[in-house]
Amino acid sequence: MLKQPTPEKAIDIIWLSVVLSFCWPLPSDSSKTRVLVYKTLQISSIVSACSVLLALTYAIYLHSDNILIVSQCICIFMGISQQVIQGTICVINHDSLQRVVEEMLNCVKEAQQYEKQIYCKLVAKCSIFFGSSIVCIYLTSTVFSVGPAFTSASFPCDAEYPFAVNDTPLHVIIYVQQSIVCYQCAAHLCLSMFGALLFWFTAARFECLAIEITQITNTSMLIVCIKKQLYLRRYAEEVVNIFRFIVLYAVGVSTFGLTLCGIILLMDTPLIVKMQFVILSFTVLVEIYIYAWPADYLKDMSIHVSRSIYDTVWYKQTLEMQKDLLNVLVYQQPITLSIRCIIQELSLRYYCSYLSNVFSIFTALSAVVENDSE
């Protein structure tokens, strides 16, 4: 029987999967030299990705009459653009990320036995899915990187440059650069698991607090628990604010990619092109699910904290204590990841609705194509 990974091991695996994205923040006690090197690598990765985006745009312009090349360029363009946007957001939110990550590490390190059991339960709940996703993502990047060795392609990406690239040193430099960008794209796809890790951890802390609340016997203990709840809510809101626009861009990329996939599948295009877009669609849908699953659980646990008052022996408390407990029940505002006018509430219900809308778009596109053919 396979041994389930510990919370510490799970954090190390997630860190390793996103390390090339340079989005995992440095410890607050890092030296100035280490911070300078880290920020230089962050900016360099964004600039490198932008240079590949420009080359892909040039390739689309040159081969606008070749649906195979254009579709491949669009697929890669979407992945690399996500790297640029996510990298920029993480640079801006570095200090906030640093605070929430360090608190997560400290809490896991100092966790009591019942807290460790809750953490381990959540790790066991999603370890297989997340582990499989990480392996698949990096295998795909490896295939892209070594692909030119087995095909007629010159580089991992179907990019074009407005200058000669046949010179051996330049060819090697571009090949290495594109290979690095491929692996950095994989790291940025795994950034969704970094966000999910923080969501799961925050939800677990609410679950731990709910257990503490059930053991309340006097007003002093209630005050301590309420202070913890307010602190946890601020922590959860900070985590949500960090990933709000990352999720927004992921949803935008997903919507565009799925719509494009519907058009490609209905057109008379080569099978390889259709397979590329089907894989792209599956990837972006999995990415949204990785965010929606823990966000839904976080919403439930943030409400469950207040409702756990029902599990106390409130009927044996004084009348004043019962009134205080009633006040706790009145305040049951959940923590949700939402974006005004775009995402009302990221949850599994939203994800199901999103899938339903995707199929509706495919049906509408199919009807349009059939009418045109008639």
Q: Render 232-248 in DSSP notation, one character per residue.
A: HHHHHHHHHHHHHHHHH
Count of domains in the chain?
A: 1
Which residues have CB under 8 Å from 115's CB, separation 6+? 107, 204, 208
Of residues 3 and 302, more confidence is placed in 302
Nearest-CA neighbor of 7 among 137, 241, 198, 195?
198
Residue 362 lies in a domain: yes
Structural domain span for residue 90: 7-373
Q: Are 343 and 251 in contact (CB under 8 A)?
A: yes
State residue 89's pLDDT score: 93
Within a domain: residue 2? Answer: no
Whether the per-residue pLDDT at 1 is higher than 50: the answer is: no
Residue in the structure block whose two tokens are 């081969």: 63
**Four-residue CA torsion sign, 255, 261, 263, 265:** negative
**Is 1 within a domain?**
no
Examine residue 207 and state whether it is found in any structural domain, yes or no.
yes
Residues 6 or more apart in contact with residue 365 via CB below 8 angstroms: 259, 262, 263, 266
Q: With 60 as the cut, is the pLDDT of residue 155 above it? A: yes
Distance CA 327, CA 332 (A): 10
> Per-residue pLDDT tens for 316-344?
666 666 666 666 666 667 888 888 778 88
Instruction: Give me the pLDDT at residue 329, please.
Output: 66
Is 151's pLDDT higher than 80? no
Output the pLDDT for position 17.
93
| More confident of the two residues 263 and 113 | 113
Tell me whether residue 346 is in a domain: yes
The whole-number pLDDT of residue 100 equals 94
pLDDT tens column, 273-309: 777 777 878 888 888 999 999 999 999 888 887 777 7
pLDDT at 311: 64
Extract the tokens encoding 183.
Answer: 């692996």
The model's pLDDT over 21-80, given as tens digits with 9 standing for 90+, comes to: 999 999 988 899 999 999 999 999 999 999 999 998 998 888 888 777 787 788 888 888
pLDDT for res 305: 79
Q: Which residues contact 20 (CB under 8 A, 6 or more apart)?
A: 45, 180, 183, 184, 186, 187
Q: Give per-residue pLDDT as tens, 221-266.
A: 777 888 888 899 899 999 999 999 999 998 888 888 888 777 777 7
Residue 141 confidence (pLDDT): 85
- Quick check: is 13 in a domain? yes
The more confidently predicted of residues 314 and 18 is 18
CA distance linking residue 347 with residue 69, whole number of Å: 36
Helix axes 67-92, 94-109, angle to 10 degrees: 70
Which of 100-104, 192-196, 271-275 has the weakest average pLDDT?
271-275
Q: Higher pLDDT residue, 146 or 102?
A: 102
Q: Write down the pLDDT at residue 224.
A: 82
3-state SS class at 339: strand
Angle between helices 219-266 and 319-330 (to 10 degrees): 20
Q: Which residue has the higher pLDDT, 213 or 273?
A: 213
In this structure, what token pair is assigned to residue 188? 């940025």
Angle in degrees, 0-180, between the axes of helices 271-307 and 319-330, rounded to the nearest 10: 160
User: For the whole model, what pTM was predicted?
Assistant: 0.89
160 occurs within a structural domain: yes
In the chain, what percentage of residues exceed pLDDT 90? 33
Q: Is 204 within the bounds of a domain? A: yes
